[in-house]
Structure 1
Amino acid sequence: MRVEVGDDGLGMDEETRRRCLEPFFTTKGERGTGLGLAMVYGVLRRHNGEIEIDSAVGRGTTVSLNFPVPQAAPATPSQDRLESARLSRLRLLLVDDDPLLLKSLCNTLEAEGHVVTTANDGVAGIAAFRAASARGETFAAVITDLGMPDVDGRKVASAIKAASPATPVIMLTGWGKRLMSEDDMPAHVDCLLSKPPKLRELRETLAQCCEPGRAQGAIEVSE
């Protein structure tokens, strides 16, 4: 399957076209993070897709996304059990500076029955965790984005573990395995997921991190 998106804008010179997928590369100066196309590439590779970029100065840009057509495979008994299993209702802290993804993931987790506190950057995330602790509330897990300005996901994870070593930290990265593999797990992080995570992966990770007895941060929220 092929999807093409094009414009008739300024276009890119050859060096910009060659480097536009690199994380942190931007032509927008201080206004740009350089993570937009890197995240697109990460999501694309998770689906075994390929990207083609045709651009030249003065004639716009066309981006082609090529996806293989998957063949349906019969679900294994273990997959059936994972799909049908329902987690306990959990109190979760979600930290991300992307407002659209923050809202989308919050809605998804709430639809699964969880109670979600959101924070729109690393500073707010750490503050929310400390404020909850002061009230005697415990998060079953903290889900944090990796790439955030000033206080990134690594610093959030470090602060959470310093305050509560047993609280699981799940890190989201839009860079996928292109930049970070499972063998390069950041310090203080229990699980690493590509961004945006698939619902099945999210369920499985929460089940692994928050199963009863695994961590003091695993709780069931009463109605």
Structure 2
Amino acid sequence: MGTVQYNEEGVLMSIKELCGVMTGESEEEEAEMEAYNHLVKLSQIYRSTSQEQCLDISHEKTVKDLMDTSLKTRRRAERQWTYQTCTEFGFYQTCEDTACPFSGMLTLQAQTKLCARVFGISQHSLPARIAFTNSYYGGDNPHTHRVLYVNGGVDPWKELSVVQDSSEEAQTVFIKDTAHCADMSRERLTDHHSLRKARQEIENHVACWLRTAAQEKMNNRGELL
């Protein structure tokens, strides 16, 4: 999940590297075992960065982690994010299509049941909550002022954002070959040209807004005097 979302933006492996492990050829194993062995190898690479003896991905462990409200929890943002999905967004990742290569247990119903179990929020209230959010903020056609919508071409979340100017006020910046939140990271020598250009564009927009706001404030003060 981290690789697909962030790609080259400071995670353990890029999409290209991960796919290389998963599709690498092996002459030592039987053909039917190759895919499994590649998955084991990938798991070992990720496991090498953790001190946990095993990876518990059970549903009960997920619920337990989401209900952990202690300050020392390692899963700092998951509870807050899940609460927002239950009260504002939806945004669930499911695997109910027959062509989906992942677990068929990832259904919409299974995801929304967490709302009731963790927060006491009825899953039946979600459609109305999501509709309100889209209505209040404008969905993919927001009528906003001095808001910049920045997205990367490698970021799966771009499908839920504004990627084209839909009104005179909307301002968008699309960075073709970067992933999630790349523009918010510090500059690196390996940054793509498109990312460097986008950061400059963002800076120009913000600088212009600040100058305009300062001028408006001065004009208002002059009118009062």
State the TM-score, normalized to the length of structure 1.
0.26
TM-score, L = length of structure 2: 0.26
When Rg is computed on C-alpha atoms for both structures, the one with the higher figure is 2
